[in-house]
């Protein structure tokens, strides 16, 4: 089912965004979650604030707690054009212009009333669960939040895969932290005793949804690709990376999504864009790095107007590399959570990242690698020029480099990005012509 609905909170546009049933389902899930989060005074639910990569949603649910993710709030504020003001507010309060804009958007939002996307104030968390995975900034971010909220904090330190693999020592360290520190802190904050069988059930539910997500992501190997694995992909990963993994809602969302994608495959259709089905697919790209959120739709349009479809992306792996085989395992619940935390994309070392992108280039028969380098995200960005060189060297396909930011509108220059993309597409054309002539 495809319906047309007005885009909420978007700037005036001649177009209406086209949405499929799965999109409506996700929208309803997010809205309901924000209602629950902003209604804790009435519903009595306890809240844990934590981060997206390596989040422990199934574990949090074992304690009947709600999951509030500051990056998701920042993204929501970016898409609603609110983040710029929040960032300026944080900078006025002494935060450097050089640091992560998610952090500043979050702190600025707190300074201005901490309003959720539904316009109601977010509650103070009962626990800050610092899942320190793949990003140094997380550690300082939660120290900054702790200073504001004065609430209990527990840290889960996930070691980095510096040598390109997880070791038993790393797993043991994480499991020990879960057993001795994280679970007791969740028990104290919630008043609920931990039940490992409950965790197993949630993990079983997660694995079901993960199977369907992989099927959806891998559909982009087809020509034409029925999905856009970056601009569309960020919506596809939404439920599984956030507060819904392990819930029947998420399973249902991915069942719906998979059916929609299967149907698009059957009908030979391209991805759904905000302006309807993408018709021609002239360029197949792999994209490295997060998207820009403040001009998301404008950014996406630069691609589909040129017939560029993203067939694989690294950003859609920041919450786990399910397509490389990882599944949450109910038979080894805590060990499985440890492996999940260890395996998120930004916790992989640079050679692993290069190898993954190279595999994507080949498996998805991409024409090139595009890097969207984010000014304020060193975890992703430091080393991306090396990544581009390596991919070009290994695949012979051209790479391109554009620079934007996550949620700071000051660093999205539409004209510059568009110029670079157009030049890049011309370069791909030239490469093709040269290859044909040879």
Partner 1 sequence: MIDTNKTTAAIVARCQELFDDLEFGSAREWKEAGPNRRVVAYMPIYVPRELIHAAGMLPLGILGGGENLEVIHGDAYYQSYICRIPRSTLELGVTGRLDFVDGFLFPSICDVIRNLSGIWKLLFPKVYVRYFDVPQNFDDEIGGRYYVQELTELREGLERLGGVRVTDEALRASTALYNENRRLIRELYAVRAEAPWLAPTSEVYLLLRAGMVLPVEEHSQLLRDYLAAVRAAPRPRRDNCRVVLNGVFCEQPPLNLIKAIEMSGCYVVDDDFTLVNRWLLDDVPLAGDPLRNLASAFLHRSAETSAKYQPDEAKKGKFLVDSVRSNGAEGVIFAAPSFCDPALLDRPMLESALDRVDVPHIGFKYAENSAQMQPVREQAGTFADSIKLWSAP
188-190-196 Cα angle (round to 5): 85
Near partner 1 by CB under 8 A, which window of 68-76, 174-182, 257-265, 332-340?
174-182
Does residue 166 bind partner 1 (CB under 8 A)? no
Residue 373 makes CB contacts below 8 A (sequence gap 6+) with 289, 380, 381, 384, 401, 402, 403, 404
Distance CA 1, CA 25 (A): 12
Report the residue number, 162 or 268, with the smaller CB distance to partner 1.
162
Which of 124, 383, 398, 427: binder of partner 1 (CB under 8 A)? 383
**Strand ranges, E, within 280-424:** 283-288, 308-313, 368-374, 399-404
Which of 111, 350, 414, 427: binder of partner 1 (CB under 8 A)? 350
Contact yes or no for 71/407 (Cβ under 8 A): no
- Per CB under 8 A, contacts with partner 1 among 88-117 are 93-96, 98-100, 103
Does residue 414 bind partner 1 (CB under 8 A)? no
> Residue 60: phi, psi to the nearest 5?
-60, -40
Distance CA 399, CA 285 (A): 10
Does residue 140 bind partner 1 (CB under 8 A)? yes
Does residue 316 bind partner 1 (CB under 8 A)? no
Does residue 385 bind partner 1 (CB under 8 A)? yes
Does residue 127 bind partner 1 (CB under 8 A)? no
Q: Of 78, 86, 74, whose CA–CA distance to 9 is shortest?
A: 78
Residue 70 makes CB contacts below 8 A (sequence gap 6+) with 49, 51, 102, 106, 141, 145
Tokens of 86: 């929040």
Does residue 176 bind partner 1 (CB under 8 A)? yes
Which of 19, 46, 327, 353: binder of partner 1 (CB under 8 A)? 353
Which of 7, 114, 153, 281: binder of partner 1 (CB under 8 A)? 153
Does residue 184 bind partner 1 (CB under 8 A)? no
Does residue 379 bind partner 1 (CB under 8 A)? yes
Tokens of 397: 């396909």
Which whole-number Å values give the CA distances from 326 to 3, 121, 200, 344, 373, in the listed order?
Answer: 34, 37, 16, 10, 27
Q: Number of residues in contact with partner 1, rule: CB under 8 A?
A: 55
Near partner 1 by CB under 8 A, which window of 150-158, 185-193, 202-210, 322-330?
150-158
Report the residue number, 116 or 182, with the smaller CB distance to partner 1.
182
How is 377-390 classified by DSSP, letter by letter? Answer: -HHHHTTHHHHHHH
CB of 94 to partner 1, least distance (A): 5
Does residue 192 bind partner 1 (CB under 8 A)? no
Report the residue number, 68 or 161, with the smaller CB distance to partner 1.
161
Distance CA 257, CA 357 (A): 25
Report the residue number, 100 or 207, with the smaller CB distance to partner 1.
100
Does residue 394 bind partner 1 (CB under 8 A)? no
Does residue 398 bind partner 1 (CB under 8 A)? no
Residue 35 makes CB contacts below 8 A (sequence gap 6+) with 118
CB of 160 to partner 1, least distance (A): 6
343-34-301 Cα angle (round to 5): 70
Distance CA 391, CA 159 (A): 26
Does residue 216 bind partner 1 (CB under 8 A)? no
Contacts with partner 1 by CB under 8 A lie at: 93-96, 98-100, 103, 132, 135-137, 139-141, 143-144, 146-147, 150, 153, 155, 157, 159-160, 162-163, 167, 169-170, 172-173, 176-177, 180-181, 349-354, 373, 375-376, 378-379, 381-386, 390, 403
């Amino acid at each position: 089912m495809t319906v047309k609905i007005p885009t909420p909170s978007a700037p005036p546009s001649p177009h209406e965004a086209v949405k499929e049933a799965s999109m409506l389902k996700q929208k309803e899930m997010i809205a309901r979650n924000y209602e629950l989060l902003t209604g804790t005074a009435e519903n009595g639910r306890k809240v844990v604030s934590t981060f997206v990569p390596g989040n422990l949603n199934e574990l949090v649910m074992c304690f009947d707690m709600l999951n509030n993710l500051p990056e998701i709030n920042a993204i929501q504020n970016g898409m609603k054009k609110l983040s710029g003001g929040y960032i300026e507010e944080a900078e006025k309060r002494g935060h450097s212009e050089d640091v992560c804009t998610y952090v500043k958007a979050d702190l600025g939002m707190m300074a201005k009333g901490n309003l959720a996307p539904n316009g109601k104030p977010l509650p103070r968390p009962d626990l800050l669960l610092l899942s320190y995975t793949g990003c140094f900034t997380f550690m300082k971010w939660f120290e900054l939040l702790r200073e504001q909220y004065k609430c209990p904090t527990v840290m889960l330190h996930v070691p980095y895969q510096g040598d390109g693999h997880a070791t038993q020592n790393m797993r043991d360290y994480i499991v020990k932290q879960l057993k001795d520190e994280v679970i007791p802190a969740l028990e104290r904050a919630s008043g609920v005793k931990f039940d490992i069988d409950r965790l197993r059930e949630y993990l079983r539910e997660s694995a079901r949804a993960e199977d369907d997500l992989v099927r959806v992501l891998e559909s982009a190997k087809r020509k034409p690709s029925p999905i856009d694995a970056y601009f569309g992909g960020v919506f596809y990963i939404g439920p599984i990376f956030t507060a819904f993994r392990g819930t029947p809602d998420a399973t249902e969302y991915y069942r719906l999504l998979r059916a929609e994608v299967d149907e698009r495959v059957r009908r030979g259709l391209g991805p759904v864009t905000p302006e309807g089905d993408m018709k021609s697919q002239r360029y197949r790209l792999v994209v490295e790095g997060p998207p820009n959120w403040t001009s998301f739709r404008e950014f996406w349009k630069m691609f589909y107007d040129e017939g560029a479809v993203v067939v694989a992306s690294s950003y859609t792996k920041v919450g786990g590399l399910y397509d490389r085989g990882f599944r949450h395992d109910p038979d080894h619940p805590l060990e499985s959570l440890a492996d999940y935390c260890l395996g998120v994309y930004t916790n992989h070392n640079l050679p692993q990242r290069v190898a993954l992108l190279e595999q994507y280039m080949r498996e998805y028969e991409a024409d090139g690698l595009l890097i969207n380098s984010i000014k304020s995200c060193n975890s992703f960005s430091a080393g991306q020029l090396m990544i581009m060189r390596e991919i070009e060297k290994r695949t012979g396909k051209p790479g391109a480099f554009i620079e934007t930011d996550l949620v700071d509108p000051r660093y999205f220059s539409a004209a510059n990005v568009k110029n670079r993309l157009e030049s890049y597409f011309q370069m791909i054309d030239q490469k093709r012509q040269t290859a044909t002539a040879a």
